[in-house]
Structure 1
Amino acid sequence: MRLKHVLLGLCVAATAISYAQDKTKKVLFNIDNHPYYTDEFSRVYKKNLDLVKDESQKNLDQYLDLFLGYKLKIQKANKLGLQNDANYLAELKSYRTQLSRNYMTDTKVTKELVDEAYQRSLKEIKASHILITVDENASPADTLKAYNQAMDIRKKAVAGENFDDLAVRFSQDPSAKDNKGDLGYFSVFRMVYPFETAAYKTKKGEVSLPVHTRFGYHLIKVNDIRDNRGQVSVAHIMLMKAENPVEGESIKNNIEDIYKKIKQGENFESLAQQFSQDRSSAGKGGHLQRFGSGELSSEKFEDVAFSLKNPGDISEPFQSQFGWHIIKLIEKYPVRSFADVQTEMESRVRKDDRSKLIDASLSEKLAKKYNVEKNPKLYAKAAKLVTDKFYEEAWEVPASTPELEGNLLVINKDKKVSALDFLDFVNTQQKTKWGIRPIGKVVDQLYGKFINNQLMNYYNDNLEKENPEFANVMDEYRDGLLLFDLMEKEIWNKAKTDTLGLKAFYEKNIANYQWHPRVEANVFSSTQQDAIQQTLKFLKKKKSIDFIKEQLNKDNKVSIMVKTGVFEEGSEALPKYPKLNVGISDVIKDGNYYFVIDVLKKMPKGPKTFEETKGKVINDYQQYLESKWVDELKKEFTITIDKGVFSEVKQELQQ
């Protein structure tokens, strides 16, 4: 297995381990006056302790030699300049970007949101809503107007007017005219976060206060609350909805006939393939992907599916808005435990509207953590350059801006941000529709957002200093990539291309590349004793393999299989048998199979040719070159090991 393909998995797994910085770390050894410390040696030893199968690698003296060899290779890679290779730098940057996402978060807030999501997932809400649309970047006046309109409607609902009728009259959700605002049952992550929160905080039978989302203001009426039903997987047979009453009666009769066939014992899946008009599932015997409440477009279909008790139960025909159905229950899946869904929920929280709360919390902490020096005069000059063309997505950053010289921001005395950086950021925000006027108010909002982004970028750039765990993982990945490139250059490619060296190594170590006694044979096998007995008769009559297969493998049934080749005696390819001689064996039973072996030739033990064992020779040659190479590296570099410090480390690790 190539090292490069497993490094990422190993390093990601390491992020789950929390390492404490050892403030008393000491120099364990030097390579050309470059120090390597006890804390790294101890950390890597402890992390790998449970991974190694070779007990010798747990021996600290031998592990020191392995660790020293590893660092010698890294030192060699740096000496050759591999750390400056463009491909290496690009891959390292890509990995850092991916890894840093796990650290650019407020863990406390994330945990609270994940816990909240799981508790909500245990319940399902049935609700209706009324929507008054307003753009999320609308002016304060337009936003207030939409809010007041929603409040007026709520007063009518609280006074006793029918919520369904109010939805039909006032809701600006286009579907309200047909569904009267009914959203059916839903659980966590099915709605945008502010809507979900309001729904879960509103009591059954009550109407919420106006809730602001990116779509506008919502009034939510909670009609029911029940325990989450989990998920279910089913198969179904569907006949499409009729276009007229006459056709409707015919379809109803057809679905009832199909149901009778099922009751008579005919296979549900076969009937689904023949008759179901849901083409996306018919070919799969009617099987649908597992689903939970609110995930399908038909509440009726969901209710019937969940009403079935045991796998294999089949519903009577029923009608939904899409047509007639018969459902077969495949399996029910109860609500999963928190431990089972925690990782999945953390991922969904980070992709959900909830992530804005995490970002806001982290931004607030960073604003307190870092010193930010602002230049109000320079900001005022930059802000004046943004014109009303911004609203038309036609504004451009001025080409010449000598008046903007200087630093707009300085973070922690060392990161300097120019006014042009800010204007470039403003330029990217023109894709968003803004209802706020005058333009100065938009620029002020963007300035706050820009400062938050700069703080996050600064934190990201300094993660190695901020987080020892992150620094450790990056160091390991950096060294791992270097080691891969070095091994490919110095060992792997050489072992493959050094033909003379390979053959010389093969000839010197030919005792390691030997055949056991072999037979050239045809091996016939079957689970049916009568088929193998018939095979034996055909072989004794000198019938060919093709003849035997033609006679015994009929009607799309395979009764006999044949393996032809050269096999080492005792290999798993042959059945257990005391001794094989040239000719036809008796019937041999091994496990659930019966065998007959037609031995064409016996071949004595002896050396494998170079071509027959080339793959193993290359692998062995690589290991030989590597062991020899480490010895050469020990001569190339000056190594000093502090034996006293190593004794202290051994004592600590063996406690």
Structure 2
Amino acid sequence: MNLKQFFIGLFFLASFIGNAQNKSKEVLFTINDKPYYTDEFERIYKKNLDLVKDDTQKDLDQYLELFIGYKLKVNKAYKLGLQNNAPYQNELKSYRAQLAKNYFNDTKITQELVEEGYNRLQKEIRASHILILVDENATAEDTLKAFKKTEDIRKRALAGEDFENLASQLSEDPSAKDNKGDLGYFTAFRMVYPFENAAYNTPRGEISKIIRTRFGYHILKINDVRDNRGEITVAHIMILNPKPEEAEKDSKITINDIYKKIQQGEKFEELAKQFSEDKSSSSKGGVLNRFGSGQLSSEEFESMAFSLKNVNEISAPFQSQFGWHIIKLIEKHPIKTLDEMKSELETKIGKDDRSKKITASLNEKLRKKYTYKRDNKQFAALSKLVTNDFYESKWTQPENTKDYTATLLTINSKKIEGKTFLDFIDKQQKAGLKTKPLSKLTDDLYTTFLDEQLKTYYDENLENDFSDFAHVMEEYRDGLLLFDLMEKEIWDRAKTDTIGLKNFYDQHKMEHMWKRRVEVTVASSTKEDIIKKAQALLKKNTEPQAIKDKLNVNNIVNVMTNSGTFEEGSDALPKTIKYKLGVSEVFKEGEYYFVTNIKKIIPEGEKTLEECKGKIVNEYQQNLEQHWVDDLKKEFTVNINTAVFEGVKNQLK
């Protein structure tokens, strides 16, 4: 989801539930005499009622204020002409195309494909294959030749010849020379659909029938079938790989020290809080969100995580492209339920060869939905123009195309001229069609042309046929304009108005304060005698690394140190730390003994503008917007029909 979609969603969350009702509507309010009706207000209020967290937005009086403010901004956008900007028009067109996809589905067939895909996702298959290349549009002679070659190889495999040897010697898949045809484990939606069908319909240890894909002919041998591994939850401790300027940092030594402390019985979660450099998880004891195969950007991390068998099992240190890790298995989760995966599976189906089934069903539905008629005389004249040059992509349209502007196809009241069909034929040359004779070619081309024109007509009339589609498009149209307006009037101004931002900071800087901070070295150990030795060394101004070198002997990590400037309340500081300069007394928290050496105490104080700029900019934007709505109410005339609004309130309550 991009920023614009997220922003617009905060105002009006699009839904495909049919909310429209056939009832009378009244004018709720006007802006410069432009009416806004009760049905739109009620529909959007009901749609968002259970989604908003702010109770003020559930209050109808407050919600009306928000709604009027929203419409005022939209009116301002139109007044500035933002609707004429090419980027806006292109994005609106792109969004409509995405939204329209939901109306091109066959629910029954889609559900069948979802269930099939889900059932297949329960298993992972390991297969080897042999490929004989042949183009989708190859001649009948070349196609038969490739089929015969594949058939001969399959017979040899069925007769007992080693499949791997056949793959490495005869497969035309370039990778077969190295992997002997072995594709590893895969599950549904990882391979083209015909290939997947063969994989899931061939028993383990057997060789498939010959299958055809867009790449050519294949035969498969099913080597293994295993249950899908599902998802897992793990915790980890990570020490980042050193940056170029951190030449003295040795991540491997640090992670090994931490691992030794775990082996000595110290708690994984406490060590993660103290030392893990993954700040998004360290405060939670290193716990990560659950994930499944292929969902992480690190294959090393994923492989190690799934190799852990028992809850609370801990891995040895290992390195990924990000740094060094130790993983602890928290929980294993079975594969998601069908309901949980339904939306994801529908998206995958739309990008897969499976979608051809849905397309065929839609074509049949539209042929029944609309009245259409072909002018056979015009079609015959157009067909004669197509020559054998088409097969070599050299065919050109006649120079005088005005002779072919007569209507070829009528869909309801829409007339489509012959020139449109000629343009379609011209573009189809790139597809490399080899259908012969020419009369059969033009018949096939017209069939495809008809289906495309029916879908175009259907798409053009979605707003007329589906009220929910029209509503969502209206909301997005206005929301997109509002985003552009906010960017122009508020967000860019807050970033570039340095004087205004500085004045706002001066007025609110007491709200942005540093807590007390300390420049400190913290030493920790589970052994009181060790921490006392660390205390003595700190009093002698011994460097932290030297302390570790002296006390961590015989391959045992007795003490860890952490140095830096930390704000009061930081996870890096012991909770009972005393803010006093110098080396502290030894104190205990839980199972750990601590000693601190505070070199500097920085009192509470104002943050500079640079130190809190992100938050100040955000607050300045909110301030500008608040005053902006008041200015818009002065710029535009708003009249609320209070009697109608009272009726709406009574009805909604």
**Counterpart residue number, 2:367:** 367
How far apart, in 2, do the equivalents of 1:508 and 1:195 lie? 65
Superimposed CA distance per residue, residues 352-380 of structure 1 (whole angstroms, 9 cap, x where no aligned partner): 44422321221222223223343332222
1:407 aligns with 2:432: no
**Counterpart residue number, 1:68:** 68
Shift in alpha-carbon separation, 1:451–1:489, aligned structure 2, 3 A: same
Q: How many angstroms does 1:55 deviate by? A: 2.2
3-state SS of paired residue (2:29): strand
Q: How many angstroms does 1:562 deviate by? A: 2.4
CA contact (8 A) 2:514 2:604 kept: yes
1:85-234 equivalences under 5 Å are 85-115=85-115, 172-173=150-151, 175-180=153-158, 196=197, 230-231=227-228
3-state SS of paired residue (2:494): helix
Shift in alpha-carbon separation, 1:101–1:439, aligned structure 2, 3 A: same
Q: How many angstroms does 1:600 deviate by? A: 3.5
How many residue pairs were aligned?
535
CA contact (8 A) 1:133 1:215 kept: yes
What amino acid maps onto 2:156 in structure 1?
Answer: D
Q: How many angstroms does 1:67 deviate by? A: 1.7
How far apart, in 2, do the equivalents of 1:121 and 1:606 lie? 57
CA contact (8 A) 2:105 2:362 kept: yes
**Counterpart residue number, 2:48:** 48
Shift in alpha-carbon separation, 1:590–1:477, aligned structure 2, 3 A: farther
3-state SS of paired residue (2:567): strand
How far apart, in 2, do the equivalents of 1:123 and 1:549 lie? 50
1:317-336 equivalences under 5 Å are none
Shift in alpha-carbon separation, 1:195–1:78, aligned structure 2, 3 A: closer
Superimposed CA distance per residue, residues 253-287 of structure 1 (whole angstroms, 9 cap, x where no aligned partner): xxxxxxxxxxxxxxxxxxxxxxxxxxxxxx96996
**Counterpart residue number, 1:507:** 506
Superimposed CA distance per residue, residues 435-482 of structure 1 (whole angstroms, 9 cap, x where no aligned partner): 543312211221121011011112223323322333333333333322
1:487 aligns with 2:465: no
Q: How many angstroms does 1:634 deviate by? A: 0.9
What amino acid maps onto 1:638 in structure 2?
Answer: T
How far apart, in 2, do the equivalents of 1:606 and 1:216 lie? 72
Shift in alpha-carbon separation, 1:385–1:633, aligned structure 2, 3 A: same
**Counterpart residue number, 1:251:** none
3-state SS of paired residue (2:397): coil
Structure index of larger Rg? 1
How far apart, in 1, do the equivalents of 2:640 and 2:370 lie? 41
3-state SS of paired residue (2:407): coil
CA contact (8 A) 2:27 2:36 kept: yes
How far apart, in 2, do the equivalents of 1:192 and 1:376 lie? 38
**Counterpart residue number, 2:320:** none
Superimposed CA distance per residue, residues 68-88 of structure 1 (whole angstroms, 9 cap, x where no aligned partner): 112211111111111222222
3-state SS of paired residue (1:28): strand
CA contact (8 A) 2:31 2:638 kept: yes
CA contact (8 A) 1:527 1:593 kept: yes
**Counterpart residue number, 1:274:** none
Shift in alpha-carbon separation, 1:396–1:491, aligned structure 2, 3 A: same
How far apart, in 1, do the equivalents of 2:126 and 2:519 lie? 70
How far apart, in 1, do the equivalents of 2:96 and 2:507 lie? 46
Q: How many angstroms does 1:100 deviate by? A: 2.2
Shift in alpha-carbon separation, 1:636–1:563, aligned structure 2, 3 A: farther
**Counterpart residue number, 1:635:** 634
1:396 aligns with 2:396: yes
Shift in alpha-carbon separation, 1:135–1:578, aligned structure 2, 3 A: closer
How far apart, in 1, do the equivalents of 2:531 and 2:403 lie? 95
**Counterpart residue number, 2:519:** 521
CA contact (8 A) 1:524 1:597 kept: yes
Superimposed CA distance per residue, residues 119-159 of structure 1 (whole angstroms, 9 cap, x where no aligned partner): 687899999x9x999998799x999x99xxxxxxxxxxxxx
What amino acid maps onto 1:89 in structure 2?
Answer: Q
Superimposed CA distance per residue, residues 612-645 of structure 1 (whole angstroms, 9 cap, x where no aligned partner): 4333322222111111111111111111112222
What amino acid maps onto 1:397 in structure 2?
Answer: Q
CA contact (8 A) 1:19 1:469 kept: yes
**Counterpart residue number, 1:417:** 416
1:564-575 equivalences under 5 Å are 564-565=564-565, 567-568=567-568, 570=569, 574-575=573-574
Q: How many angstroms does 1:498 deviate by? A: 2.0
**Counterpart residue number, 1:323:** none
Superimposed CA distance per residue, residues 229-264 of structure 1 (whole angstroms, 9 cap, x where no aligned partner): 53369xxxxxxxxxxxxxxxxxxxxxxxxxxxxxxx
Gaps of 5+ in 2: 164-181, 231-298, 312-330
How far apart, in 1, do the equivalents of 2:407 and 2:538 lie? 92
3-state SS of paired residue (1:53): coil
1:75-90 equivalences under 5 Å are 75-90=75-90
Gaps of 5+ in 1: 147-166, 234-282, 291-304, 312-330
CA contact (8 A) 2:12 2:48 kept: no
Shift in alpha-carbon separation, 1:211–1:21, aligned structure 2, 3 A: farther
Q: How many angstroms does 1:17 deviate by? A: 3.8
Q: How many angstroms does 1:386 deviate by? A: 0.6
Shift in alpha-carbon separation, 1:198–1:608, aligned structure 2, 3 A: closer
What amino acid maps onto 1:231 in structure 2?
Answer: N
CA contact (8 A) 1:522 1:564 kept: yes
How far apart, in 1, do the equivalents of 2:43 and 2:300 lie? 52
Q: How many angstroms does 1:525 deviate by? A: 4.1
How far apart, in 2, do the equivalents of 1:644 and 1:179 lie? 84
3-state SS of paired residue (1:62): helix
Q: How many angstroms does 1:289 deviate by? A: 12
1:201-280 equivalences under 5 Å are 230-231=227-228
What amino acid maps onto 1:102 in structure 2?
Answer: N
1:282-431 equivalences under 5 Å are 337-414=337-414, 416-431=415-430
Shift in alpha-carbon separation, 1:22–1:113, aligned structure 2, 3 A: same
Q: How many angstroms does 1:38 deviate by? A: 2.5
CA contact (8 A) 2:74 2:478 kept: yes
CA contact (8 A) 1:521 1:597 kept: no
CA contact (8 A) 1:32 1:639 kept: yes
**Counterpart residue number, 2:533:** 534
3-state SS of paired residue (1:480): helix
Shift in alpha-carbon separation, 1:53–1:215, aligned structure 2, 3 A: closer
Q: How many angstroms does 1:558 deviate by? A: 9.5
CA contact (8 A) 2:349 2:355 kept: yes
TM (norm. structure 2) is: 0.67
How far apart, in 2, do the equivalents of 1:398 and 1:10 lie? 54
Q: How many angstroms does 1:571 deviate by? A: 5.2
The two structures, once aligned, show a CA RMSD in angstroms of 5.0
What amino acid maps onto 1:98 in structure 2?
Answer: Q
CA contact (8 A) 2:194 2:211 kept: no
What amino acid maps onto 2:94 in structure 1?
Answer: S
CA contact (8 A) 1:133 1:216 kept: yes
How far apart, in 2, do the equivalents of 1:2 and 1:344 lie? 18
TM (norm. structure 1) is: 0.67
CA contact (8 A) 1:513 1:607 kept: yes
**Counterpart residue number, 1:271:** none
**Counterpart residue number, 2:447:** 448
Q: How many angstroms does 1:196 deviate by? A: 4.8
Shift in alpha-carbon separation, 1:589–1:653, aligned structure 2, 3 A: farther
Shift in alpha-carbon separation, 1:88–1:215, aligned structure 2, 3 A: closer
CA contact (8 A) 2:523 2:534 kept: no
